[in-house]
């Protein structure tokens, strides 16, 4: 009996365990706090916008022209202008980006040419948007002679977002298992037949997601459009891609800093609509991806 | 006397594949050395040998799928039914049509069973429009040949990727048939299957002999023995022995062959 008492139980907690546990807890809480901090700006921004700008929202605000030196009235020309700018940018960047990604993923051999294209994509993604803006002025407004117009602004946006489309498309093409390609080639299918019949149908969900992501990014851009096609104030709606237009992002900048005597709620209202457009498209993207994933065939 | 009758039979049977001093390099590494083989029409011929002996490389050069790697260099000729498939005027698509290939892991396309069967057919018959009835007939005929028809005839719209591995592998064989290939290459077609599936696919291979010339690479000597009529033993890029399967496993002519089939290396 005394023997068993003399031998200490090896499974009991020691001082070392206690301190290790305390450190463990400390770090866990620290990391959790940092992760939690992320939500804070989103919450603050959204609450502020809704509280201060929510009152502005009405049918008239969305669908009428600004009046009285932009201190009253609605935002319709800016709203429609953003739709124009984003739409035309998409029409340009999606075909180019998807085609480029197909080349890189399905045709290109690993050589200096491919590597330099990849390098160009990475660098294009890293160019600051104000540099893109000045490039747009030089190339599209002046050199190609489009003037400050929707076309010039959208092309600038397209160049800027091309890397997103290419990378997203390439990733979703490469997610298609190589065994499918092998199966097709072995039956004598050409690369294009393989791409059209097997690879594209099976990667369309990823491509669409990338495209929508691009849209939501393009919507908020200000710098690339302010010198190339977006205008301070135009009371008429654009009729073609060669017209200038107002845009949501620039309008927000203008009513916040450039115009005197703007009622306090107006910029918040504009910001709220802008952010709602982006969130709406992001949720559409997520919903679409979930729907198409559910339909995926393997 | 015996030899004579055998040779006359061989002559009557004809050759599916004939290679002449075939050498193949991956970059600087030589994978095949002077391979001279005559593979008979309508027979099942198995290729055995330890890993890295060149058997898969040889198989893959018969439908020219190796070339995709880019750094492969080939010397010599491979005649398929008397025509050199490496001749400059040869169209790759036509080679692939004549020489079908089945892989280790079944690779059905992510589409229905019916679409899988018709995929190759549609690729190679784009100039003519086939009616639904014609297509149905092709699907049935191909699935019957691989002993799969009774099992899937009511679910032709089902996704092929939902089938069992054995059924998938049979489907992968079936989808080659509508374009009427003359040679079927099989690269360890049973290695992803369970014993029951293996037995079923071997039975199918046996069933297809005569109609197609079948070349099958296998690691499984028992399989070579069960499912092939002729057997080729390769070692380090060279052909060591090529005889009737029965002879190879009973009276191998070379010490290396004997050692390998007795399991002393491999």
Is A189 in contact with B123 (Cβ distance < 8 A)? Answer: yes
Is A188 in contact with B96 (Cβ distance < 8 A)? Answer: yes
Count of structural domains within chain A: 1
Q: Assess if residue A12 is contained within a domain.
A: no
> What pairs with residue B15 in β-bridges?
B40
Is A187 in contact with B65 (Cβ distance < 8 A)? Answer: no
Query: A58 near A64, Cβ under 8 Å?
Result: no
| B221 near A CB under 8 A | no
Across A41-159, the runs of DSSP E, i.e. the strands, are 66-67, 72-73
What CATH class has B42-64+92-261?
A: alpha beta
Tell me how close the Cα of B123 comes to any Cα of chain A, in angstroms.
7
Average pLDDT of every residue of chain B: 87
Tell me how close the Cα of A298 comes to any Cα of chain B, in angstroms.
6
**Among A281, A284, A282, A278, which residue's Cα sits nearest to residue A49?**
A278
- The length of chain A, given as a count of residues: 298
Encoding tokens for residue B31?
A: 């994978």
Alpha-carbon dihedral of residues B65, B199, B207, B12, nearest 10 degrees? Answer: 70
- 3-class DSSP assignment, residue B15: strand
Query: A246 near A230, Cβ under 8 Å?
Result: yes
Strands B38-40 and B15-26: antiparallel
Tell me how close the Cα of B120 comes to any Cα of chain A, in angstroms.
6
Q: At which residue do the structure tokens 């037995």 appear?
A: B199
Q: Assess if residue A143 is contained within a domain.
A: yes
- Chain A neighbors of B108, CB-CB under 8 A: 183
| CATH classification of the domain holding A224 | 1.10.3720.10
- Chain B neighbors of A197, CB-CB under 8 A: 119
State which residue of chain B sits closest to A182, comparing Cα positions: B107
Is A190 in contact with B172 (Cβ distance < 8 A)? Answer: no
Q: State the pLDDT at residue B114.
A: 92
- 3-class DSSP assignment, residue A188: coil
What residue segments make up the domains of chain B, in order of their start? 42-64+92-261
- Chain A neighbors of B100, CB-CB under 8 A: 186-187
Nearest CB to A198: which of B68, B109, B176?
Answer: B109
| B101 near A CB under 8 A | yes
The domain containing residue A146 runs over which residues? 73-250+257-293
| Secondary structure, 3-state, A139-159 | HHHHHCCCCCCHHHHHHHHHH
- Chain A neighbors of B109, CB-CB under 8 A: 180, 183-184, 198
In B118-157, the residues whose Cβ lies within 8 Å of chain A are: 119-120, 123-124
Is A187 in contact with B179 (Cβ distance < 8 A)? Answer: yes
Separation between Cα atoms, residue A165 and residue A43, nearest integer Å = 29
Residuewise pLDDT in 10s, chain A (298 residues): 455 556 778 888 888 999 999 999 999 999 999 999 999 998 999 999 999 988 888 888 888 888 877 777 888 888 999 999 999 999 999 999 999 999 999 998 888 999 999 999 999 888 999 999 999 999 999 999 898 899 999 999 999 999 989 999 999 999 999 889 988 888 888 889 999 989 998 888 888 888 888 888 888 888 889 889 888 888 778 888 888 888 999 999 988 888 888 888 889 999 999 999 888 888 888 888 788 777 665 5
Residues with Cβ within 8 Å of B119's Cβ and at least 6 positions away in sequence, in order, are: A184, A187, A189, A197, B109, B111, B175
Residues of chain B short of pLDDT 50, as ranges, are 1-10
- Which residues of chain A are at the B interface, by a Cβ-Cβ cutoff of 8 Å? 109, 179-180, 182-190, 193, 197-198, 202, 296-298
Q: State the pLDDT at residue A231.
A: 81
Instruction: Give how far Cα B129 sits from Cα of A20, A198, B119, B121, B124, Å.
Output: 75, 21, 14, 11, 11
| B109 near A CB under 8 A | yes
Is A180 in contact with B107 (Cβ distance < 8 A)? Answer: yes
| B105 near A CB under 8 A | yes
State which residue of chain A sits closest to B64, comparing Cα positions: A186
pLDDT in tens, B141-199: 999 988 889 888 888 888 888 899 999 999 999 999 998 899 999 999 998 888 888 98
């Amino acid at each position: 009996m005394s023997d068993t008492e003399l031998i200490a139980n090896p499974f009991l907690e020691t001082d070392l365990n206690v301190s290790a546990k305390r450190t463990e807890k400390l770090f866990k809480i620290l990391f959790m706090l940092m992760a939690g901090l992320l939500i804070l700006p989103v919450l603050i921004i959204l609450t502020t916008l809704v509280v201060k700008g929510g009152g502005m929202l009405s049918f008239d605000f969305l669908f009428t022209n600004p009046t009285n030196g932009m201190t009253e009235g609605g935002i319709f020309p800016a709203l429609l202008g953003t739709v124009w700018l984003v739409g035309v940018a998409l029409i340009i960047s999606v075909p180019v980006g998807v085609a480029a990604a197909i080349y890189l993923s399905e045709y290109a051999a690993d050589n200096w040419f491919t590597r330099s294209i990849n390098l160009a994509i990475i660098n294009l993604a890293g160019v600051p948007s104000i540099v893109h803006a000045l490039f747009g002025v030089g190339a599209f407004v002046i050199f190609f002679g489009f003037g400050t117009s929707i076309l010039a602004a959208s092309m600038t946006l397209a160049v800027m977002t091309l890397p997103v489309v290419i990378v997203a498309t390439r990733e979703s093409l490469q997610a298609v298992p190589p065994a499918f390609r092998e199966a097709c080639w072995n039956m004598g299918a050409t690369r294009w037949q393989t791409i059209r019949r097997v690879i594209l149908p099976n990667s369309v969900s990823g491509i669409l997601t990338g495209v929508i992501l691009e849209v939501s990014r393009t919507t908020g851009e200000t710098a690339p459009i302010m010198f190339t096609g977006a205008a301070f104030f135009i009371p008429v709606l654009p009729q073609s891609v060669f017209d200038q237009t107002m845009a949501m992002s620039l309008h927000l900048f203008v009513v916040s800093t450039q115009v005197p005597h703007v009622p306090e709620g107006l910029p918040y209202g504009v910001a709220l609509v802008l952010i709602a457009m982006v969130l709406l498209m992001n949720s559409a993207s997520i919903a679409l991806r979930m729907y198409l994933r559910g339909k995926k065939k393997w | 006397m015996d030899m004579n009758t055998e040779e006359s039979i061989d002559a009557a049977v004809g050759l599916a594949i004939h290679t002449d001093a075939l050498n193949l390099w991956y970059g600087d590494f030589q994978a095949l050395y002077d391979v001279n083989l005559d593979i008979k029409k309508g027979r099942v011929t198995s290729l055995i040998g330890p890993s890295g002996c060149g058997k898969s490389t040889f198989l893959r050069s018969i439908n020219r799928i190796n070339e995709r790697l880019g750094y492969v260099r080939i010397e010599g000729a491979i005649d398929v039914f008397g025509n050199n498939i490496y001749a400059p005027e040869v169209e790759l698509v036509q080679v692939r049509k004549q020489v079908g290939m089945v892989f280790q892991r079944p690779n059905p396309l992510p589409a229905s069973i019916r679409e899988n069967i018709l995929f190759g057919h549609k690729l190679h018959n784009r100039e003519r429009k086939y009616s639904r009835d014609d297509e149905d007939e092709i699907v049935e005929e191909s699935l019957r040949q691989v002993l799969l028809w009774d099992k899937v005839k009511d679910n032709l719209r089902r996704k092929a990727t939902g089938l069992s591995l054995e059924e998938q592998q049979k489907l992968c064989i079936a989808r080659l048939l509508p374009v009427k290939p003359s040679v079927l290459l099989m690269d360890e077609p049973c290695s992803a299957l369970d014993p029951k599936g293996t037995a079923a696919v071997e039975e199918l291979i046996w069933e297809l002999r005569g109609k197609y010339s079948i070349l099958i690479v296998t690691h499984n000597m028992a399989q070579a023995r069960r499912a092939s009529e002729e057997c080729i033993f390769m070692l380090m890029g060279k052909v060591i022995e090529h005889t009737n399967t029965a002879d190879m496993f009973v009276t191998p002519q070379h010490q290396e062959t004997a050692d390998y089939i007795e399991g002393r290396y491999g």
